[in-house]
Structure formats: C-alpha cells, structure tokens
C-alpha cells in the first residue's frame, strides 16, 4: 500500500534585501521557488543579516527588508503551506553559525570566489562578516535540515562549502545534518547584464540599463530590452561569441517555455528589433501577476508585519530542534 504520510522533502532559499531584485534573481531563483513551493515543504527568506556585510543606511535596510518580504509574498509561493520569513527574526541561524565557524577551515573559506570579488568591489570595507558570509549561509540551510536549495549558478560554491561543513560535522559527531543538494535550473541559472553580456545581471550594477528590476514598469522594461547590447550579425541564433543574443534567447526561453530551435525558426529572417520587442513583451507578461499582487500587498503594512511574525514563529519552531541537537553534541551545557 502506498505510504501517503511520507514526509515531504524540505526546500530552503534566501535572497539579500540589497535592492529591488532583478530579472536574474527571478529567473535564476524565484521561478524555481514557485515551482517547488507546490511540491515540497519550503522555507523562503530575506537574508538581512547577510546584507550587513555591505554598509547601508539603517532606514534603507529596514525598508528594503520589508519591500523584499512583500515581493516574496507577491510571488505566489503558496504561503499558507510554506514559510516566508526574515533571517534576523530567527535567532537560531546566528547561533548555529557561530558553532559552524569552529568547524570551518580558514583555508576553505579563503577559496570562496565571491569573497574575493566582493573584497575588490568594497576594498574600503573588507570586514570579517564578508569573509564569514558563507558560514552563515551554511547555517541558514543546515538548521532546517534542508534537502534542496534552489539557487543561481553564482551560489554553487557556497553550497559546496555548506555540504563540506555538514559532512565534517557528521563525521565527528555522527549523523546530525542532512547533506543539502543544490537545485540549479537548466536555463536561467546565470542571466547576464543587458549592457555587458559577459557579466552577471546584478542588483548592485550602477548602470540602470544593465538590469531589469522586478518593479520596472512595462515601458521601462521595453526600453531596456530595446537598448540591450547585441552583435552585428542580425541573425537570431544561439552560438558562441553571441553573448548578448544568447542571453536574450535564454530570457525568452525561460518566459515562454520555447526551445532555442523553435525561437531560431520563429525569428528566421527577422531583425533584432522584432526579437528584442518580443523578449520584452514576454518578460512583461511573466512579471505582470507578481507586479499586480505587489501593488496590493505593499499598501497593507499590517499584513506584511503579521506575515513576518508568523513566518518567524514557524521557522523558529522548526530550527530549534537542530540547534539543540548540535549544542548537545558539541558539549554545550544545557542547564
């Protein structure tokens, strides 16, 4: 007989509230979060503690955290069944993070490429938090015994570190943590800048034309795609060296579900102008339901606050079990 009470696998992922998320965040992460939220037991969060690694105005961080939570609540993540929360509201993350620091080697943390990149970008503020960032991310994941972590390609190395820390801890103290698996979509795992298609589309890009924000109006989205950097071949095909067109084809494929072959056939003999407009239209349609929901939710501060409170309460309940187990195993006295 089929076991209908079989436990659902657990999924967790977070996003930093550094500014309005981009189409890269949406296609690399949110779209997979939405798909997984129907099938798994999910936790989705706003990584406000991670955002402290880069200096920002306190009032800005607070309002961006609320705005990011409102965006998550607008994504149709099935919040009745899943947990949506803010990282700093759940103290177990930071507590586990300290313990995991003591099971992470300086050498392995030093190899993180994102630390090296961010140290160059923020050369005037290379703080210890920036270095320790992946250990807090490991705590986020391990404290819930997560099975799958949907992320874009840029977070893969951090996930490998989380797996290594979990494996090392389990080796010393016996089975304690579930070893998490990354979930990286086949398409959309690395959406590139519209102005420099050899670098990742990023929330922190200073050129506003380089990235599409999830709250951009349809007009702005159209303009940004129209000014996207392409090449001089004037032929819509996926090929090496055609980074701009490859990126636009990837975005179009993610939004429409069409294969590259079909896209090439549909746009055979047509110019880049037509193709750029079609990509922009597809993105506008993809984002429309989320944008409409967001416009409604952002006005309802009481709902946002209440969602944060109830998310934190549920997340705390789940995570405390792991933290207690770990504290006991490492020898912390639980008087």
Comparison of 138 and 236: residue with beta carbon closer to ligand TYM: 138
Question: Which residue is it, tokens 């037991």?
Answer: 41
Q: Quote the least distance from Cβ 191 to ligand TYM, whole Å.
A: 4
CA–CA distance, 67 with 19 (Å, rounded to integer): 9
Comparison of 37 and 155: residue with beta carbon closer to ligand TYM: 155
CA–CA distance, 138 with 134 (Å, rounded to integer): 6
* Residue 118 designated active-site: yes
Q: What is the DSSP string of 71-134?
A: HHHTS---TTTSEEEEGGG-THHHHHHHHHHTTS-HHHHHT-HHHHHHHHHTTT---HHHHHHH
Comparison of 146 and 176: residue with beta carbon closer to ligand TYM: 146
Contacting residue, 10, 11, 16, 245, with ligand TYM by CB under 6 A: 16
* Residue 226 designated active-site: no
Neighbouring C-beta atoms of residue 331, cutoff 10 Å: 7
Binding status of residue 191 toward ligand TYM by CB under 6 A: yes
Q: Which stretch binds ligand TYM (CB under 6 A): 6-14, 227-235, 291-299, 327-335?
A: 6-14
CA–CA distance, 262 with 254 (Å, rounded to integer): 13
Which of positions 135-154 make contact with ligand TYM (CB under 6 A)? 137, 140-141, 149, 151-152, 154
Structure-derived torsion over alpha carbons of residues 299, 303, 304, 307, reported in degrees to the nearest 10? -160
Binding status of residue 122 toward ligand TYM by CB under 6 A: no
Binding status of residue 29 toward ligand TYM by CB under 6 A: yes
Binding status of residue 14 toward ligand TYM by CB under 6 A: yes
Q: What is the DSSP string of 5-65?
A: TPPPPEEEEEE--SSS-BHHHIIIIIHHHHHHTTTSEEEEEE-HHHHTTS---HHHHHHHH
Q: Quote the least distance from Cβ 145 to ligand TYM, whole Å.
A: 13
* Residue 156 designated active-site: no
For the chain, helix (H) and strand (E) counts, in that order, are 14, 5
Q: Quote the least distance from Cβ 270 to ligand TYM, whole Å.
A: 27
Comparison of 28 and 280: residue with beta carbon closer to ligand TYM: 28
Which of positions 282-311 make contact with ligand TYM (CB under 6 A)? none
Q: Which stretch binds ligand TYM (CB under 6 A): 71-79, 183-191, 298-306, 314-322?
A: 183-191
**Which of 31, 34, 118, 242 is the catalytic position?**
118
Q: Quote the least distance from Cβ 234 to ligand TYM, whole Å.
A: 26
Name residues whose C-beta falls within 8 Å of residue 125's C-beta, 6 or more positions apart in sequence: 54, 55
User: How many residues of this chain interact with ligand TYM, rule: CB under 6 A?
Assistant: 24
**Which of 34, 200, 242, 276 is the catalytic position?**
200
Q: Quote the least distance from Cβ 139 to ligand TYM, whole Å.
A: 9
Report angle CA 63, 211, 18 to the nearest 5 degrees: 25
Contact (Cβ atoms closer than 8 angstroms) between residue 169 and residue 176 = yes
Binding status of residue 47 toward ligand TYM by CB under 6 A: yes
Handedness of CA 251, 82, 156, 116 (dihedral sign): positive
Binding status of residue 182 toward ligand TYM by CB under 6 A: no
Alpha-carbon radius of gyration of the chain:
21
The footprint of ligand TYM (CB under 6 A) covers: 12-16, 24-25, 28-29, 47, 50, 137, 140-141, 149, 151-152, 154-155, 189-191, 200-201
């Amino acid at each position: 007989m089929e076991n209908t009470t079989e436990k659902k696998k657990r999924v967790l992922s977070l996003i930093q509230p550094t500014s309005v998320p981009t189409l890269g965040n949406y296609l690399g992460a949110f779209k997979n979060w939405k798909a997984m939220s129907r099938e798994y037991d999910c936790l989705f969060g706003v990584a406000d503690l991670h955002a402290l690694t880069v200096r920002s105005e306190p009032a800005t961080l607070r309002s961006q955290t609320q705005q990011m939570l409102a965006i998550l609540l607008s994504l149709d993540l099935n919040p009745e069944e899943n947990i949506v929360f803010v990282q700093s509201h759940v103290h177990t993350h930071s507590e586990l993070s300290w313990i995991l620091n003591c099971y992470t080697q300086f050498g392995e943390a030093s190899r993180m490429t994102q630390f090296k990149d961010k140290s160059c970008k923020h050369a005037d503020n290379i703080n210890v938090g920036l270095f320790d960032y992946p250990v807090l991310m490991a705590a986020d994941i391990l404290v819930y015994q997560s099975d799958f972590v949907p992320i874009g390609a840029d977070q893969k190395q951090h996930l490998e570190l989380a797996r290594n820390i979990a494996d090392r801890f389990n080796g010393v103290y016996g089975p304690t943590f579930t070893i998490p698996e990354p979930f990286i979509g086949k398409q959309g795992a690395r959406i590139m800048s519209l102005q420099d298609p050899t670098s990742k589309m990023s929330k922190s890009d200073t050129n506003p034309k380089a990235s599409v924000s999830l709250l951009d109006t349809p007009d702005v989205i159209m303009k940004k795609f129209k000014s996207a950097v392409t090449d001089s071949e004037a032929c819509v095909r996926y090929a090496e060296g055609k980074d701009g067109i490859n990126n636009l084809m990837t975005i179009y494929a993610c939004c429409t579900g069409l294969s590259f072959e079909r896209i090439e056939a549909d746009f055979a003999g047509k110019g880049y102008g037509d193709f750029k407009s079609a990509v922009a239209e597809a993105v506008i349609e993809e984002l429309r339901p989320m944008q409409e929901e967001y416009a409604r939710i952002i006005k309802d501060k009481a709902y946002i606050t209440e969602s944060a409170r109830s998310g934190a309460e549920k997340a705390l309940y789940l995570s405390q079990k792991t933290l207690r187990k770990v504290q006991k195993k490492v020898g912390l006295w639980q008087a």
